[in-house]
Each structure stands twice: as structure tokens, then as C-alpha cells.
Amino acid sequence: MGTFKIEGGAPLKGEIKPQGAKNEALQVLCTVLLTPQKVTINNIPDIIDVNKLISLLRNLGVKVEKLAHGSYSFQADEVNLAYLESEAFKKEGASLRGSIMIVGPLLARFGKGYIPKPGGDKIGRRRLDTHFEGFINLGAKFRYNEEDHFYGVEADRLKGTYMLLDEASVTGTANIVMAAVLAEGKTTIYNAACEPYLQQLCRMLNSMGANITGIGSNLLEIEGVETLGGCEHRILPDMIEIGSWIGLAAMTQSEITIKDVSWDNLGVIPGTFRKLGITLERRGDDIYIPAHTDGYEIQNYIDGSILTISDAPWPGFTPDLLSIVLVVATQARGEILIHQKMFESRLFFVDRLIDMGAKIILCDPHRATVIGLDFKSKLKGILMSSPDIRAGISLLIAALSAKGTSTIQNSDQIDRGYERIDERLIAIGAKITRID
């Protein structure tokens, strides 16, 4: 279990470039199983969760070649399906939430897909019903071994159909799309997720020979094809990391430029941080944040009532950034209500912030009211532990703004989602020591 030691209060300055998007990487890496031809993917983040998936693909028999930092080629022309029923796979697949997305491609191409019950962050209940109901709608037979917590779907040939998803699940939509591209006939998916990373997946599949229309909307239409070919694809910059660096700049009152952010794919993220009073300037495809030496003030609604920021499916505000908004609000002028609708355990890290001196009322598992300190009272460094990726980065930002020394145990959780985070932050002035 890793540990970060942080000396807070140091001003930061400089440029930082976001890594490739973790959530996109976990989707597009699974597409390589849909074709025997070579697929090249660029801007892959070098993080624990993504590397676990690459390792899983290798163990499935996919030929993996590292071409350069962040660039790999994959060729799934000799897939070892027997590995899916091995004890090694049960252990490896269970350690990674994203492993669920290999099921759709395997089912479409080979007629069967298995997966152990995936693990991942302890952020609340994340059911898999959408994935498997989609496969069943396409004609697959479902089975579940309760003793081994092992899921399976099988079909001789999937058949296109109409389906209305009961939730706009990003990974569920991705999995169903990857299954449907090789199904016989037309598949219509209504209430589909439409996040930029899902759009990227659909465009990549089209470049491989799929026929998907409605990309960017919640109504996808897929005409099944017999086979898919190879392609080259580049992953978008990680919008969650971009939002994290916006919050970092504001909390540490630092002048930071975030490079190559793909502005057109950020949706409401810049506007949401502006509601907190944070100044953002677009410079080409970069975000420039000046040092907020006079602080920042939360906007109220036009009738004077307290601002509420909540998460929602795209194009709403992503739940992965609510913890960042909450931390940033602790030093704002004004008050705000944070409403985490999608996960019931993601706000439980606020007790650490309260221990640091933040004024937060945890109303229930989904809502927290934050009363900003306006930098009149600095947070103080404490010993704490990272419960998950997003809470971990939020606590790291709090520690960098705090007075004194903080120690964050279980920092491996942060490494699961952020590439070389200590090195990149040290390069702009942060005082972080990694203790392994």
C-alpha cells in the first residue's frame, strides 16, 4: 500500500498536460477482440486499471506490442477462449471493473463471453443488469454461477432488435454496441449513453467497418456487419483529470495552464467551475487559470437561493468531478449544496475534509452542504486514507492547499486513475514525497 506525504501551501505554476482518458481507454481496448486484424491505439494512459486490462488481453492470447509511450498495437487473431474458464481469469477479471466490457466483443465474435463479478471502487452499488439485459435482447442465453459469482452469455449468432435501456449506462451502452456491430440485422438502442468517450468508441468501430448512426445522441442505430477490420485510433484527453487540475489551480491559488484539453468535448465542465467563481480562459485548445489571490465566489441562482450542483448523464455534469467541486467549494465565498445522485457512498470522504477544518454538513449519503471558508481559515494537514480514485485526488488537492503536512495512505487508489501524478505535480512546484 503506497503513501503520499504532502507539504501543503506551496504555490504552483506552469503547464500540465492531461493524460489519455481512462474511461475511453477501458472501452476502446476491448474493441481489439472484435477483429483478427491489427488495431493501433494511441494516447493510452499508463495507469494501473488500464495496464490490468492490457495484461488480461495478453492472457487471452492477444498479441500486444508497445510502439512508444502510450501507443500500442493489438492483434487478436489467436484468442485463447479456454482462458475464460481458468482460475487465473476468475482472479484477474474480478480485480478490474472494466473487465466487464470484454463480454460484448467476445460474445459477438466467438458466441460466448464470461466474466467473474468485477470489483473496483467502493463507491456504491453499480449493477450489471443493463449489460446482460442488452445481450439477452440480442438473443444470448444468460447464466450465473452464484457459488463462483461467475456470469456467462452464449449465442450462435446475435440478432439485431429494438431496445430501450432502463438506464443510460456508459459501460452498458458500450458493451451492447460492441456486441451489436456483428449481430445480424438492425439494432436500435434508445436511452443510450452519449458521453464523448462513447462517441469515440462508435467512431472507432465505424472506422473498423461498423455501421453506426446517431452518434452523439441517445438513439443509436446499428446495422450489423459480417466482419470488422483493423484501424488506428487516438484517445481523447481525460476530462476528469482536466477538471481536477482546474480545481487544483483554484484551491492552491496558482497560475496553471492545462494543455491540449479538447475544449469541444468538455461540455458543461468549464461552465460548472465558473459557477464557483473560478476564472477560466480559453487559449487555443488550452485552459489558462490565473492565480486566484483574491479568492473566488460561488454564484447564487437568480432568485438568490443557494446553488446546487448535481451529477447527471451526459450532457449533464459527470459524477466523477463532484468530489472536486466539493473540495474547491470549501475555500470559496458562499455556500453550495452538492447532490451526488448516482452513487450512495461517494461523499463519505467528507469526514476527512471536516477533520482538516472544512465546514461541511453531510445531509445524507447523497447530499452535502459546504460553507466556504474564503481562505480566511486554511485547511490543516492530517493523516488520512484514500477510499477510491476520485476521493483520493480530491484529498490530494485539499492537502496541497492545506497548512502543514498531510499523509495520504492507500495512494495506490489514486495511481489507478492518474498517471505519474506525483512527478507531474512536482514539476509545477508541488511538494509530494512517495513512500512505497
Residue carrying the nine cell digits 486566484: 292
- Mean pLDDT over 165-189 rounds to 96
H or E segment and range at residue 53: helix 48-59
- Give helix then strand counts, H and E, for the chain: 14, 23
Instruction: Determine the Cα–Cα distance for residues 193 and 173; give it in Å rounded to an integer.
Output: 6
Residues whose CB is less than 8 angstroms from the CB of residue 176 and which lie 6 or more positions away in sequence, other chains included: 104, 130, 131, 134, 135, 138, 163, 165, 187, 189
Q: Quick one: 244 and 291 in the same domain?
A: yes
Q: Quick one: 165 and 257 in the same domain?
A: no
Could you give the percent of the chain with pLDDT greater than 90?
A: 82
Q: Quick one: 284 and 414 in the same domain?
A: yes
Residues facing residue 16 across a β-bridge: 258
Question: In the structure, what pLDDT confidence band is assigned to residue 144 with cuts at 50, 70 and 90?
Answer: confident
pLDDT-wise least confident of 121-135, 244-258, 397-411, 415-429 = 121-135
Q: Quick one: 254 and 220 in the same domain?
A: no
**DSSP assignment string, 314-355:** TTS--GGGHHHHHHHHTTSBSEEEEE--S-SSTTTTHHHHHH
Q: Alpha carbon 59 to chain centroid distance?
A: 24
Neighbouring CB atoms inside 10 A of 3's CB total 17
Could you give the percent of the chain with pLDDT greater than 70?
A: 97
Indicate the pTM of the whole model.
0.92
Task: Name the binding residues.
Answer: 22-23, 97, 320, 342
| Domain endpoint, select from 172, 203, 234 | 234
pLDDT at 125: 43
Is the distance from CB of 14 to CB of 256 less than 8 angstroms? yes
Model confidence at 136: pLDDT above 90: yes
Q: Quick one: 11 and 48 in the same domain?
A: no
| Domain endpoint, select from 182, 199, 234 | 234
pLDDT at 208: 98
* Identity of residue 307: L
Q: Where are the alpha helices (DSSP H) in 167-316?
A: 170-180, 196-207, 239-251, 269-275
Model confidence at 337: pLDDT above 50: yes
Q: Which residue among 49, 121, 311, 415 is the active-site one? A: 121
- Mean pLDDT over 96-101 rounds to 81
Q: Quick one: 343 and 404 in the same domain?
A: yes
Model confidence at 121: pLDDT above 60: no
Tell me which of 239 and 144 has the higher pLDDT: 239
pLDDT at 151: 86
Q: Quick one: 11 and 27 in the same domain?
A: no
Q: Quick one: 139 and 167 in the same domain?
A: yes
- Mean pLDDT over 316-340 rounds to 96
Instruction: Determine the Cα–Cα distance for residues 330 and 343; give it in Å rounded to an integer.
Output: 21
pLDDT at 118: 66
Number of domain units in the chain:
2
- Mean pLDDT over 132-155 rounds to 88
Question: How large is the angle between the packed helices 389-401 and 239-251, nearest 10 degrees?
Answer: 20
Mean pLDDT of the chain: 93
CA nearest neighbour of 228 among 189, 269, 179: 179
Task: Name the binding residues for UDP-N-acetyl-alpha-D-glucosamine.
Answer: 97, 320, 342
Model confidence at 255: pLDDT above 90: yes
Q: Residue 136's domain spans which residues?
A: 22-234
Task: Name the binding residues for phosphoenolpyruvate.
Answer: 22-23
CATH of the domain at 133: 3.65.10.10
Question: In the structure, what pLDDT confidence band is assigned to residue 145 with cuts at 50, 70 and 90?
Answer: confident
Question: In the structure, what pLDDT confidence band is assigned to residue 345 with cuts at 50, 70 and 90?
Answer: confident
Secondary structure of the chain: what % helix, strand, coil (to 5)?
35, 25, 40
Instruction: Determine the Cα–Cα distance for residues 40 and 36; give it in Å rounded to an integer.
Output: 13
pLDDT-wise least confident of 21-25, 146-150, 265-269 = 146-150
pLDDT-wise least confident of 82-96, 227-241, 318-332, 343-357 = 82-96
Q: Is 121 a residue of the active site?
A: yes
Instruction: Determine the Cα–Cα distance for residues 237 and 426; give it in Å rounded to an integer.
Output: 21
Q: Quick one: 245 and 204 in the same domain?
A: no
Q: Quick one: 93 and 28 in the same domain?
A: yes
- Mean pLDDT over 253-266 rounds to 97
Model confidence at 76: pLDDT above 70: yes
Q: Quick one: 34 and 133 in the same domain?
A: yes
- Mean pLDDT over 390-405 rounds to 94
- Mean pLDDT over 170-183 rounds to 97
Q: Quick one: 210 and 275 in the same domain?
A: no
- Mean pLDDT over 165-194 rounds to 96
| Domain endpoint, select from 211, 234, 257 | 234
pLDDT at 403: 96
pLDDT at 119: 54
